[in-house]
Each structure stands twice: as C-alpha cells, then as structure tokens.
Structure 1
Amino acid sequence: MNKQERMLEIVRLVNLSGTVMVNDLIEILQVSDMTIRRDLASLEQEGQLTRIHGGAKSNSRLSFNELSHEEKHHQNMQAKRLVAQKALQLIEEGDSIFLGPGTSVEVLAEEIHCRRLQVVTNCLPIFHLLFKKRTDTFKVILLGGEMRERTQAFVGEMTNHMLGEIYFNKMFFSGNGVKNGRVLTSDFNEAQTQRLALGRSNATYLLIDDSKLGREDFTSICNLNSLTSVITDLDSDKVQQEIKPYTAVIV
C-alpha cells in the first residue's frame, strides 16, 4: 500500500467510526507510529479530519451512525483490554452479575475465570463466550427476546419482563458516548433494557474508553451521577471534564 492508498484508507476508517486511534491504525496498516502521525498531520491540513489525543476524529461523519458488534472489534482494543483488567478486580467469587452488550464488556467476559459466579446477559456473543466456561458453580443465563442485529443484544418486552424478576450484586455495561453527564447509545429499546438492569443492581459500573468521552448519540441510558463509578483507560482532560464532575472514576 503506497502513501496515497494509505491516506485514503485512514479517511475511510475515520469517517466510518467517527474516531480512530493511532495504535489501531498502526496495527491495521502495519506501518510505524511516526508514519501514521505524519499522515494524520497531512490529512488535518487538508481538512479531512481533526487530530485528537492519541488519534483523530472525522470532520464529516454523521454523529449517529452506529457500528455493528463486529466493526467495533477493530476499534481501541488495547484500551478496552486495559478497562477490562480494571473491571475484573471488582468481580468477586459468589457474585451475581449482569453484563450488558458491547465489545468492552465482551473483553471483560473473556477475562473472567471465577469458580463460583452467576452471570446474566442479554448479549449473544457474551453468552457464547461464557457458556464455554460454565461449571456446576459457574452459571450463565441468556435473556431472550427480540435481538438487535447491530449489537446482537436482546431487547423488548420479553427481555424486560425476565429482567424484572432478577437482582444483581453488580452490573457492568458500556455505551457509545458520554456527554454532559449522560451515558448515550443508539437505540431506545436497548437503552430501556439497560436502564432496567441498572435499577436491579446494587453496584453499577460503566466501562468506557477515552475515545467515547465527549461523543453524542441518539438516546440516553442513564445519568453518570446514578452510577457507582466509571472505569476508563487513562486520566485525560476529557475524563476531568466529562466524568469527574459527576461520579467516581477508576483509571
């Protein structure tokens, strides 16, 4: 891939997702850190994107273009793994937990190796992953209902009815953005199901990487001040602005 092709691919990726990180571009394009940073500087001069801390954001992408579960697997995986490692420390033997949809939470599910745990989820990929780990004392429950293809999460009246009969020690969930003290996502029904699970949990933890902070989306899941804490990958200016005025943060 020559320089022109590489820069076209960077523009395609940033317009697809809204934000791209330098580390992800290095892995996808198989070039050096300095090469990516020079390309981003050139593209910013051309008005194609705007550089941000650790990456770049699109100047033309529509704000509410939701990515699929598979597409999100190519974004910020190093940051998501850091967040998951921190969240893992909060899970104790014997807990009953709810795991919401999203790749950040899926990475957490990959890291769970408790002997005694009960996990409830409405996300099909997370269920498939945890089902392989099940034992007599490690129980995994999938809530059924109508499945959203984009996130492979079950939502709607049937899902909510089942949730209304269960309580959890802890809930771990994610979102597409955090802005003005609110956790945001792309679908009203999915937000409604997450809100119900939040209300059934003693402790609630948002898993979000720095790239989502300051980002808008279609509808609100909850307010940050209703959460136990937010778990993120680094203590940036955006963390100081978007999280710390509202709730505790684990970085």
Structure 2
Amino acid sequence: MLKNERQKIILDLCERDGIVTVKTIQATIHVSDMTIRRDLTEMDHEKKLIRIHGGAQSIAFNQEDSTVEKSSIETPKELSHFEKKMISTDEKKYIAKNAAQLINDERETIFLGPGTTIELMTEHITLEHVRIVTNSLPVFNLLKDKGKYDLYLVGGSYREHTGAFVGSVADEVIQKIGITKAFVGVNGIQDGWVSTFNVEEGKIQQLALDKASEKYLVADAHKFNHRDFYNFYNLKKIDGLFTDYTISKSVKEQYEQYTKIFN
C-alpha cells in the first residue's frame, strides 16, 4: 500500500473515532507498528492530526472542549469504497471464497448486498446459471459480462460512496421478490447487533435479510466489538456469519451465543 493511501485511511479512522490506537490502525491496514508510528509522527508535523501516546487523535476531537462550537466539529466519516478495498484484503478474499461455496443450487435466488467482500464473492461463484439480485452497482458490473446469470439490478436512489441503490423504490422491489439466500456485509458487530453507516442502506439490507430463507453476513474480524451509526439486524436471526482466520478464540466464543461463526 502506498504511503498516501495508508495515511488517508489513518486520517479517516482518526476523524471517525476521535482517538485511534496504533493497535487499531495495525489491525485495519496490516503494516508494522514502526511504519504506523512513523506515519503518525509525519502527520502530526503536518498538522493533520495530534500524536499521542499509543496512537493519535483528530484535530476536531482536540478542539471539542475549547472555544470551538460542537456543531462545527466534523461528523464521523464513512470510508470510501476505494479505502475499504485497501483494508484487510487477504482476509476478505478468504471470507469471500468460503461464503461463495453456499451458492450451490441453480434453482435458488441469491441476494448480494453492497460491500467489497461481497464483490470478491463474484470471483468464486461456480454455477453456470443462477438468479442473482443485487442493489450494488459494483457487484452488478462484475457479473454482467459473464453472461451466464439471471441477473437483476435493483434501482433506486444511488449512493456514490458505496455504489448501492437505496431508498423507497429499492425497498419496494425487495419486498416483492422471493430470496433463497441473502449475503450482506456490515460495518460493525456489537452486543448481538450488526450496524452500518447509512440508515437507508441498513434498511434495504434488513428487508433483504427478512425476505431470505437463509440469512448470512460477511465481516472481517476487526468489525467485531465495534459499532457503526445504525443497527439494522439482530444476530440471533442470522443463520451464519462468515469471518476470517484472525478472529480470536474468545471473540468467536462470545458471538457464537448469537449465531454460527464460519472462519
């Protein structure tokens, strides 16, 4: 990963959470702590963030208790589609390959939600013919040229940040179709709930999961014990959650009380 890409992700994490530790950054972008500390020092000198012991804090977070009005502080920032693609790439490939093995019956209707891990699933669908429904433009683009799927793109209001179609039009379509298996990505998993950054995106994912006979989530291990803005589904209603090999034994045991964990 190039330095400017790495530092952009660090800055976005810092601005999103206010304070971020070296350990959290390392779990996200998988480079050495020495590299991260060097980046933090450089970014501190450039006044992009404030270097603190064990990590960094955003400029806005530092100003919160000063004369700056709280309303002027930047709100948490959603990582861009490109930035998400750069995070935990090996782990996402591992998850995608395992999850795609459940797409194994041509008589089924499969829903694939938005997300970089689900995009990688498209590389591992081995069936010659299967009906696939998606509200993700990137997923649709990856599948449309293969010419062997019964492929449906759900339209609606377009979210450029994730390439997803959301809103009332998209919701209405999802409510009218039958889904055999749904695969949905999440931004956070905490206390039996899964969350995402955007309410409308969470709503359509909730509807797709409700309509599906079998409900599956995909999430790399660093999403556990983290919450994003909007809780959209309860883990107890999920048939299985696909994650990667870096999940700790204790975290896996913690969440197996809610659903089956595949890693």
Could you say which TM-score interval applies, normalised by the shorter chain?
Answer: 0.7 to 0.9
Cα deviation digits, residues 163-186 of structure 1 (max 9, x gap)? 111111100011111111111001
8 Å CA contact 2:101–2:125 kept in 1: the answer is no
In structure 2, which of residues 150, 155, 164 is the aligned counterpart of residue 139 of structure 1?
150
Q: Secondary structure at the match of 2:162?
A: coil
Q: Does 1:74 align with 2:86?
A: yes
The AA in structure 1 aligned to 2:236 is: N
In the alignment of these two chains, the number of paired residues is 226
**Please, what is the CA RMSD of the aligned residues?**
2.7
Q: TM-score with structure 1 length normalisation? A: 0.80
> Structure 1's 184 and 89: CA in aligned 2 closer, same or farther, altered over 3 A?
same
Aligned to 2:139: 126
Q: Secondary structure at the match of 2:204?
A: helix
Deviation at 1:110, TM superposition (A): 2.4
> Structure 1's 116 and 21: CA in aligned 2 closer, same or farther, altered over 3 A?
farther
Deviation at 1:40, TM superposition (A): 4.7
> Partners in 2 of 1:37 and 1:79 — Cα distance?
19
8 Å CA contact 1:206–1:230 kept in 2: the answer is yes
> Partners in 1 of 2:144 and 2:109 — Cα distance?
15
Q: Does 1:231 align with 2:227?
A: no
Deviation at 1:132, TM superposition (A): 1.2
The AA in structure 1 aligned to 2:209 is: L
8 Å CA contact 2:119–2:139 kept in 1: the answer is yes
Within 5 Å, which residues of 2 pair with 1:204-219?
A: 204-219=215-230
Aligned to 1:13: 9
Moved more, 62-71 or 215-224: 62-71
Within 5 Å, which residues of 2 pair with 1:84-103?
A: 84-94=96-106, 95-103=108-116
In structure 1, which of residues 136, 147, 162 is the aligned counterpart of residue 173 of structure 2?
162
Q: Secondary structure at the match of 2:195?
A: strand
8 Å CA contact 1:213–1:239 kept in 2: the answer is no
Q: TM-score with structure 2 length normalisation? A: 0.77
Gaps (5+ residues) in structure 2? 15-23, 42-50, 62-73
| Percentage identity across paired residues of the two chains | 32
Q: Does 1:106 align with 2:119?
A: yes
Within 5 Å, which residues of 2 pair with 1:31-70?
A: 36-40=32-36, 46-49=52-55, 60=58, 64-70=76-82
